[in-house]
Structure 1
């Protein structure tokens, strides 16, 4: 018997998170970033990079997305579908 472990990439984690939320009303970028950082505490991607990966996966899979992560410029959260 052999145990095989697969390496999880940040992109793969973002894609998996989006797919797991496919039936939800929308995907919260803030919650997704927290989930990925919990799963991958040594992730070197910035929050902005994670936001872009998640948004791209949402577009590909037709999942509405709430850009609700805090921004340095103080912009209000946005909801896009």
Structure 2
């Protein structure tokens, strides 16, 4: 028996996270970024790049999204469905 492991890309991790939250009221971008960084500590993508990947996956799968990441001015919260 051969074990085959596939490389998980950041894009695939973002999409998998979105799909795992499909039944929730909305997806928190801040929470998703923390989860991806925990799963992939060597991830070189910036928070902004992760935010864009997650937003694209949310749009593609019809999952409402809360843009609740911290900005230089403070917490900026936007909910989109």
User: Scaled by the length of structure 1, what TM-score is found?
Assistant: 0.95
What CA RMSD, in Å, does the superposition of the two structures yield over aligned residues?
Answer: 0.9
Q: Which runs of 5+ in 1 are unaligned?
A: none
Structure 2 segments unaligned to the other structure (5+ residues): none
1:8, CA displacement in angstroms? 0.1
- Structure 1 segments (4+ residues) deviating >3 Å: none
2:59 matched residue in structure 1: 59
Q: Please, what TM-score do these two structures have when normalized by structure 2?
A: 0.95
Q: Aligned equivalents of 1:2 and 1:76: distance in 2? A: 48
What per-residue deviation string (whole Å, max 9, x for no partner) do you get for residues 15-38 of structure 1? 000000000000000000000000
